[in-house]
Amino acid sequence: MSLYFVCRLTNKMNKGKECSLPERNPTCDLGYRQLFRKGTPRCLRLRAVFTLEAAVILPLTACFFVSILFFFRVMQVQLEVQKALDDTGRTLAVTLSGEDSSEIVGIGEAKVLFLKELSGRETAERYISGGNLGVSLLKSEFTQDEIHLKASYHLKLPIRIFWVWDFAMEQRADCRKWTGWNGAADSGTGDEWVYVTETGTVYHTKSTCTHLELSIQSVSYDQLAVLRNESGGKYRRCEQCGSSQNVFGRVYITNQGDCYHTDLGCSGIKRTVYMVRLSEVGSRSACSRCGM
């Protein structure tokens, strides 16, 4: 039982009596007599008790909330390190493809790319012991077709816990070296890759052709009278979806097109692109924008 509750219990027992010292009060409890020295008043100062408890509880409470907030910082550092590892792995998958480089060369190149990806990330630089240079990739492994990046580092604690200043962390990213089609292998054959759509009558030599990547915008029906496409022409009704009405009074147009659409899923603005060989395009002709 704490000192505070002993004091409260004794005061309640002696309420209404005129004694001030425990040795002069025959009704005082024996344990209470032994607790205090002779001449000590029977009642302690409650303010002092509260101050003592607050001096212990408040620092513990502050440490608890700091630990909770630090947990979110740990998550942020992990996200930044993982993003840098993933980007480094994708780059190495291309640069190390077809190469029989040693593991030391692979780790050195991975370290340079990793630091480049991690540069500018203030949270990782602040909370990792030694900053970005404190991340080690020495445990990474490079096999014939696989890349296994392993990042080891220590996170600094905001408050020292006994003799512990930081704790160890480890993250990894696995990827496969690029073993897909190499454009140089088909050079000079005359049967390169092209792009076609389901209903299109032309083929495209670039996937970024504006016929494939449409810039769709939603406008009100009343604006069609003043809007023009890139060629300066007016927009006419689409033969496939123009007969229906949009319940919101909106239509869809593109910068290069000459039709307005009431259905966003209309095949006139929806593209399903296939990558095929030039010998497989059939009677399709080259696109006037990218095929020349």
Q: What pLDDT tens digit does each residue of the chain (292 aa) get? A: 454 555 555 555 555 554 444 445 554 555 555 545 555 555 555 566 667 677 777 777 777 776 777 778 888 888 999 999 999 988 888 877 655 556 666 788 888 889 888 887 888 888 888 888 889 998 888 887 788 999 999 988 776 667 777 888 899 999 888 765 555 545 555 578 888 888 788 898 888 787 787 778 888 888 888 888 888 888 888 888 877 777 677 888 888 788 888 888 787 777 788 888 888 888 888 888 786 6
For residue 260, the model assigns a pLDDT of 86
**Cα(95)–Cα(89) distance, integer angstroms:** 10
Say whether both 118 and 159 belong to one domain: yes
**Cα(12)–Cα(34) distance, integer angstroms:** 18
For residue 149, the model assigns a pLDDT of 92
- Decide the pairing of beta strands 202-203 and 146-161: unpaired
Say whether both 30 and 112 belong to one domain: no
Say whether both 97 and 135 belong to one domain: yes
In residues, how long is the chain? 292
First vs last C-alpha separation in the chain: 93
pTM of the model: 0.43
Give the other-Cβ count within 10 Å of 291's Cβ: 15
For residue 153, the model assigns a pLDDT of 92
**Cα(162)–Cα(171) distance, integer angstroms:** 26
Say whether both 76 and 171 belong to one domain: yes
Say whether both 76 and 170 belong to one domain: yes
Total domains in the chain come to 3
**Cα(147)–Cα(140) distance, integer angstroms:** 8
Say whether both 189 and 155 belong to one domain: no
Q: Are 138 and 112 in contact (CB under 8 A)?
A: no
Which residues lie closer than 8 Å to 134 by C-beta, 6 or more apart? 128, 153, 154
Domain that holds residue 86: 71-176
Helix (H, G, I), strand (E, B) or coil at 193: strand
For residue 199, the model assigns a pLDDT of 77
Say whether both 79 and 145 belong to one domain: yes
Say whether both 166 and 199 belong to one domain: no
The reply to whether 63 falls in a domain is no
Which residues lie closer than 8 Å to 191 by C-beta, 6 or more apart? 277, 278, 279
Boundary residue ending a domain (128, 159, 176)? 176
